Structure formats: C-alpha cells, structure tokens
Structure 1
Amino acid sequence: MTFFLGLGIAGIVLLALSLIFGGVLEGMLDGLFDGLLSLPVIAGFISMLGFGGAIVLSTTGAGPLVATVAGVAAGLVAGWLTWKFSKALMRDQTSSTPRGGDLVGTSGTVVTAIPADGYGEVMLRLAGQPVKYAAKCPTPVVRGTEIWVEAELSTTSVAVRPVER
C-alpha cells in the first residue's frame, strides 16, 4: 500500500512541477513529451495508478497484482482525459490582440488642440476601450473636433485629419 501511495504522491509532485516549470522541463527534453506523452498526462497516469491501486488494495482482499491492474486502468483513463482536456484548451483561441495599426480608419475626438507644427492628443477607441494617442495633423485642429485616423506614426502617435460634414 505504501508503494501505491508513494506513486500517487509522486504523480502529484510531477504535476505541480509540470505546472510551475513545464516550459523549462519540456524545453530541456526537447519535444520528447509532446501531445500524448506530455508531463501533465504522465503525472495524471502515475497519480491515478498509485491512488487507484491503493484504493483497490485497501478496500478489497485482492493482492498487489489486481491492484496494479486496476491502477493502470485508472491511470490510462486519467491520462487520456488529461490529454483530451489539454488539447481542448490548446485549441481555445481568443480574438487577436488589438494593435495600433487597427486604429487606421477609425474616428475619435481631439482632447488637446493639435497645432500645425506639433502634436496634440486625441481620444480613440481600441477594442472598445478609450485610449489617448498623440496626434499630428497638417492643419491646426481645436479641442472637441471629430477626427479621422489616417496613419499610425508610432506605437503612441497617429496622423489624423478633421472629419468634414
């Protein structure tokens, strides 16, 4: 029974290590543990082999061989479920991260007046969130004017023009 409990605990320790140092451990082993043989799958298998064997050994009169077979079966199920769950998580894609280039063609409002020879500030919406950008325009633009973004000059500044209605 002690052997099975030791396996179960070793599997949990391996799972914790794979969660904390997973990238490092798998990087050191250079693709050896990809997909079906990933560290979380192996950890799930070892844990369930140990704990399943310990449960069978302590609750039935069966010997170590039957407990090992039951533990391996439970470990295979746990490993397979871990593999399927991790595949589902890896397929889960979120929308792309917004970038400043996504602002071209959007409208906003001048927050700080834009002089003809310098920068002012505009309030734009990036992914639904209000964001302030430095703005440059060939003509002076007063505060409160609606503007149109023509180009991204840098990660924090844009070229704009007043909206004509």
Structure 2
Amino acid sequence: MVWFLGLGIGGLLLLVLSLVVDGVLEGLLDGLGGPDGFLSLPVVAGFLSALGFTGALVLGATGAGAGAAAGAGAVAGIGVGWGTWRFGRVLLRDTGAPAPRGEDLTGSAGAVVTAIPADGYGEVLLHLAGQPVKYAARSSRAVARGTEVWVESVLSPTSVLVRPVDR
C-alpha cells in the first residue's frame, strides 16, 4: 500500500511542480506526446495520482492482491489522464471573437459631439465593440452638434467620413 500512496503523492507533487514552473519541465516529454500534448505533465501527473490512490483504495478496502489493485489503478489512471488531456485541449482551443477593427465602423450610427464644418473636421461618438469611442469626422456638408450620422468610410485609424441620417 505504501508504494501506491507514494505514486499518488508523487503524481500530486508532479502536478504542483508543473504548475509552479509552468512549461519549464514540458521539454522532458517533448517528442513523446505528439502535436496535441497527449503526454503533457498534467496528464502524466493525473495518471500517476489516480493509479496510486485508486490502487491504495482497492488494496486497503478489498484486500485484493497488488496485481488487482494495480489493474484498477491503471484503469482509473487512464480515465483521469484522458479527462485531463481533453480538458486541456478545450482550454487551449480558445475561439473567441476577433478583436474589433476600425473597418468595423463602416455602416454604424453615431452622434455628432462637435459640429462638423463643410470644409473641416468635427467629432462624432461611435460605439466600437460596445465601447463609446470619439473619432474625428468629415462630411460633405456641415453637420450640427447632436445630429445622428452614419459612417460611410474609415479615413484613418482616428477619423471617419460621415453623412447625416435623413428621417
């Protein structure tokens, strides 16, 4: 039973060590795990811990031999290792939305906060990814403060071409 408990505790220590030194020890198993990290340190640590603690439980609770305890521990270890591998793959497959770009403003509505003269720049308040952002704005005609406008095109990262909304 001492061997099984030692394996379980060793697996937990390996897991803590892999979390503390984050990636430094990953080079030990490079080439064995393939491109998707099947033999990463958390997977090996989970396997060893489950093998050890399940083996100790089976040996202590049932009085079965060391072979039966090792077999039960191996089955539990494979299950925990596989679950750890799958969970890690889900965490690494981050498919969040792309970062917003200035080109996403084309066609959006906003409001004039500083009047736009016919031959110069004013300011408009637009919403990019839900956040209010103030841009310099040009228009083909003068636009008064408070007027609702549509963005026709993005001139630069900080300026847009707008037209008043006719209602």
In 2, the alpha carbon distance for the partners of 1:133 and 1:32 equals: 53
> What TM-score, normalized by structure 2, do the two folds share?
0.76
Letter paired with 1:104: T
- Does the Cα contact within 8 Å between 1:123 and 1:130 map onto a contact in 2? no
Alignment of 1:1-165 (within 5 A): 1-19=1-19, 21-26=21-26, 32-33=32-33, 34-91=36-93, 93-114=95-116, 116-118=119-121, 120-127=122-129, 129-137=130-138, 140-149=142-151, 150-151=153-154, 153-154=156-157, 157-165=158-166
Equivalenced residue count is 161
SS in 2 for 1:14: helix
In 1, the alpha carbon distance for the partners of 2:91 and 2:18 equals: 16
Greater than 6 Å deviation, 4+ residue runs: none
> What TM-score, normalized by structure 1, do the two folds share?
0.76
SS in 2 for 1:7: helix
Identity score, percent: 52
- Structure 1 stretches lacking a partner, 5+ long: none
Higher relative helix content = 1
Instruction: Compute the displacement of 1:75 (Å).
Output: 0.4
- Does the Cα contact within 8 Å between 1:14 and 1:43 map onto a contact in 2? yes
Greater mean alpha carbon deviation, residues 89-98 or residues 34-43: 89-98
Aligned CA-pair RMSD: 2.8
Residues 6 and 28 (structure 1), Cα distance of their counterparts in 2 relative to 1, 3 Å cut: closer
Instruction: Compute the displacement of 1:131 (Å).
Output: 1.5
